[in-house]
Amino acid sequence: MALNLDHTLSLYGELAVRIALNLQPGQRLLIFGPLANGGASLEAAPLVRRVTESAYKAGAQFVETLWGDEALQLARFKYAPRDSFDQFSSWFPTALTDHVHAGHAVLSIYANDPDLLKNQPAELVGSVQKAVSRAGTRCSSRPTASTKRRRSAGCRTPLPTSASAPG
């Protein structure tokens, strides 16, 4: 079964890079996950590795991943000051925008637990979602001369699991 999943992940990585992103030689690739989770789930590491391999085979200049850890997010809900939940990373929206404006590719891999915050106070979850939404608004900007000159690609994908691997 593990061999089947490994093969599926390799195929998925190839599809993400060559079809969904249409990654071109010389482009960089930034891999991350849901912004509210801080990055790609550690559970997604096997897929991220396959995507990285496929990207370098396709001629990527550099591939980097922003990792997130759900345990760290839960620690925030447990210990952080209650008035801090409207805060979000100040550097990431700018870095993401600069990356895209340079004509590079982004891939967001969703492998996070959808029920992670179900037992957290709704008002705090709402504050986090609003902060992420504000940050996302800063990330989405109009095309510039550099992005018109060189196509920038972006894609979101869920993590395939052994349950979704062919028999």
Amino acid present at 104: H
Tokens linked to 89: 């990373």
d(CA 64, CA 60): 11
Burial grade of 139 (CB within 10 A; 0-12, 13-18, 19 or more): middle
Phi (first) and psi of residue 23, to 5 degrees: -60, 135
Question: What is the reported pLDDT for 160?
Answer: 59
Say if residue 142's pLDDT is above 70.
no
The CA distance from 43 to 118, in Å, is 19
State the CATH class of domain 2-158.
alpha beta
Task: Indicate whether 149 pLDDT > 50.
Answer: no
Of residues 38 and 23, more confidently modeled: 23
Flag whether pLDDT at 144 surpasses 60.
no
Q: What is the C-alpha separation between 72 and 17, in angstroms, rounded?
A: 29
* Contact assessment for residue 159 and residue 110, using Cβ atoms and an 8 Å cutoff: yes
For the entire predicted model, the pTM comes to 0.79
**pLDDT score of 150:** 42
pLDDT in tens, 51-105: 999 999 999 999 999 999 989 999 999 999 999 999 988 888 889 889 999 999 9
Gap between the Cα atoms of 36 and 71, Å rounded: 13
